[in-house]
C-alpha cells in the first residue's frame, strides 16, 4: 500500500518538477536576453484584456504604458499605439489607419520606427496634399490578431477613428483560424506553459510538412479558414465603400526566406491575385526586402530567432507603401 502511494507520488511529482525547472530556466534566461516567449507573456499579462468587439476575444487595454521587448509601448484611449485623436477630425487631417498583427504594432521597435509612423512621416515630408495636409497614423496593430479579428475590430472602432484610408497588413499566417488560448490565465502568466503551447501548436500546424508546404495547403480554394478570411475581406471592402474610405493591403513576407527561388513566392502571387479580385490592391515589398537583406536576413529581423521586422525592414516596407500611394491616383488628397 505504501509503495503504491510512493509510486503515485513520484508520477505526480515528475511533471510538477519539470514545470518548475522549465519555468525558472526560461525566466532566468529572459533576464539576460530578449526572449520572445517571455516578452509575449509580459505583453499578454500587462496589455491584453477582454474585447468588446463581437467574436473577438482580446484587445489592447486602452491607456496602457509598459516596457515590452526593449521598447516603450504607449497606447491611447482606444488601445492604439498612436497619438490621441481629436473627436472631430480637422479639415486638413488625413487619417491612415493601419490594421494588423504584432508586425503592424511594431514589435520590438520604437513607435516612430514602425512602418505605420514611417509611412505618414514620409508623406508629411513629401508633397502629397500640396504640403497642407497633415497625415496621421492610427496604429491599431494587435498581437495574435488574424485577418478576421482585424476586420471585425476595424469596423467596430471606425466610427471613432474616422479614417480616410485603411492599410491592412497581410502575412501568410493571417488566414489561420481565430486565435485561441489568449484568455487562458495559465498561458498568460506562465512562460513555460506558453512556450510549450506555442511549440505544440506549431507542430500541429506543420504536421511534418515544411512551412511552405503547410501554407500551400492553407491557401487551397476549399480550405475553411482561407474561405473565412476572404469573406471577412469582402466585408471590409463593402464597409469602406459605403463609408468612403480607401483601402490597400501590405504583404509582409516570410523574412527567414528572401531568396530568389523562395517557395513562398507562388503563394504570395496567389494571395495578391485573390485580394485584387476582392477589391484590395496588395503591395508586395518582397523584391525590395530581398535586395536589402537577401545576403543577411538576420538584419531584417528585430532579434535573433524573432522574425518580426527590424527598424531597417520597417523602413523598406514603408517606402514601398509610400511609392504606391503617391503613384496611384485617388489614394491621397489632390494638390
Give pLDDT tens digits for 160-194: 999 999 999 999 999 988 886 554 555 556 666 66
| Structural domain includes residue 3 | no
Is the pLDDT score of 205 beyond 50?
A: no
**Residue 232 vs residue 333, higher pLDDT:** 232
Mean pLDDT value across residues 196-205: 52
Task: Determine which of 111-115, 161-165, 301-305 has the lowest per-residue pLDDT on average.
Answer: 301-305
Mean pLDDT value across residues 75-92: 95
CA–CA separation, 250 and 248 (whole Å): 7
Per-residue pLDDT band at 126 (split at 50, 70, 90): confident
| Structural domain includes residue 185 | yes
Is the pLDDT score of 14 beyond 60?
A: yes
| Structural domain includes residue 6 | no
| Structural domain includes residue 18 | no
pLDDT at residue number 240? 98
pLDDT at residue number 199? 52
| Structural domain includes residue 285 | yes
| Structural domain includes residue 102 | yes
Which set of grid coordinates corresponds to residue 71? 521598447
pLDDT tens digits along 250-264: 999 999 999 999 999
Q: Which domain holds residue 107?
A: 33-327
HEC string for the chain: CHHHHHHHHHHHHHHHHHHHHHHHHHHHHHCCCCCHHHHHHHHHHHCEEECCCCCCCEEECCCCEEEECCEEEECCCCCCCCCCCCCCCCCCEEEEEEECCHHHHCCCCCHHHCHHHHHHHHHHHCCHHHHCCEEEEEECCCCCCCHHHHHHHHHHHHHHHCCCEEEEEECHHHHCCCCCCCCCHHHHHCHHHHHHHHHHHHHHHHCCCCHHHHHHHHCCCCCHHHHHHHHHHHHHHHHHHHCCCEEEEEECCCCCCCCCCCCCHHHHHHHHHHHHHHCCCEECCHHHHHHHHCCCHHHHEEECCEEEECHHHHHHHHHHHHHHHHHCCCCCCCC
Domain count, the chain: 1
Please choose, from the candidates 178, 197, 174, 149, the residue with its C-alpha nearest in 3D space to the C-alpha of residue 271.
174
| Structural domain includes residue 2 | no
Please choose, from the candidates 282, 310, 278, 283, the residue with its C-alpha nearest in 3D space to the C-alpha of residue 297.
310
Spatial contact of 294 and 258, defined as CB atoms under 8 Å apart: yes
Is the pLDDT score of 84 beyond 80?
A: yes
Q: What is the pTM of this model?
A: 0.86
pLDDT tens digits along 16-46: 656 567 566 656 555 545 556 677 778 888 8
State what percent of residues in the chain have pLDDT above 70: 78
CATH number at residue 283: 3.40.50.1110
Is the pLDDT score of 203 beyond 60?
A: no
Q: What is the mean pLDDT of the chain?
A: 87
Mean pLDDT value across residues 102-126: 96
Amino acid at each position: 500500500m505504501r509503495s503504491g502511494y510512493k509510486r503515485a507520488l513520484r508520477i505526480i511529482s515528475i511533471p510538477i518538477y519539470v514545470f518548475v525547472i522549465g519555468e525558472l530556466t526560461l525566466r532566468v534566461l529572459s533576464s539576460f536576453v530578449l526572449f520572445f516567449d517571455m516578452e509575449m507573456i509580459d505583453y499578454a499579462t500587462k496589455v491584453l484584456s477582454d474585447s468588446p468587439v463581437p467574436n473577438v476575444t482580446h484587445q489592447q487595454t486602452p491607456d496602457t504604458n509598459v516596457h515590452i521587448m526593449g521598447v516603450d509601448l504607449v497606447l491611447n484611449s482606444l488601445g492604439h499605439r498612436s497619438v490621441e485623436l481629436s473627436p472631430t477630425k480637422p479639415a486638413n487631417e488625413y487619417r491612415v489607419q493601419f490594421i494588423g498583427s504584432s508586425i503592424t504594432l511594431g514589435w520590438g521597435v520604437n513607435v516612430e520606427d514602425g512602418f505605420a509612423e514611417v509611412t505618414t512621416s514620409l508623406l508629411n515630408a513629401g508633397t502629397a496634399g500640396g504640403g497642407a495636409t497633415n497625415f496621421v497614423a492610427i496604429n491599431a496593430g494587435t498581437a495574435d490578431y488574424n485577418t478576421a479579428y482585424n476586420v471585425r475590430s476595424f469596423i467596430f472602432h471606425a466610427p471613432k477613428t474616422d479614417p480616410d484610408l485603411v492599410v491592412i497588413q497581410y502575412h501568410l499566417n493571417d488566414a489561420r483560424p481565430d486565435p485561441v488560448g489568449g484568455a487562458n490565465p495559465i498561458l498568460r502568466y506562465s512562460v513555460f506553459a506558453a512556450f510549450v503551447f506555442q511549440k505544440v501548436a506549431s507542430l500541429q500546424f506543420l504536421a511534418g510538412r515544411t512551412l511552405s508546404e503547410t501554407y500551400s495547403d492553407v491557401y487551397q480554394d476549399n480550405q475553411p479558414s482561407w474561405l473565412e478570411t476572404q469573406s471577412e475581406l469582402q466585408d471590409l471592402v463593402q464597409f469602406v465603400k459605403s463609408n468612403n474610405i480607401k483601402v490597400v493591403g501590405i504583404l509582409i513576407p516570410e523574412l527567414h526566406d528572401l531568396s530568389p527561388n523562395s517557395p513562398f513566392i507562388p503563394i504570395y502571387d496567389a494571395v495578391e491575385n485573390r485580394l485584387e479580385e476582392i477589391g484590395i490592391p496588395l503591395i508586395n515589398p518582397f523584391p525590395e526586402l530581398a535586395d536589402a537583406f537577401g545576403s543577411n536576413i538576420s538584419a531584417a529581423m528585430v532579434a535573433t530567432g524573432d522574425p518580426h521586422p527590424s527598424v531597417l525592414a520597417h523602413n523598406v516596407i514603408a517606402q514601398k507603401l509610400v511609392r504606391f500611394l503617391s503613384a496611384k491616383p485617388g489614394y491621397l488628397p489632390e494638390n
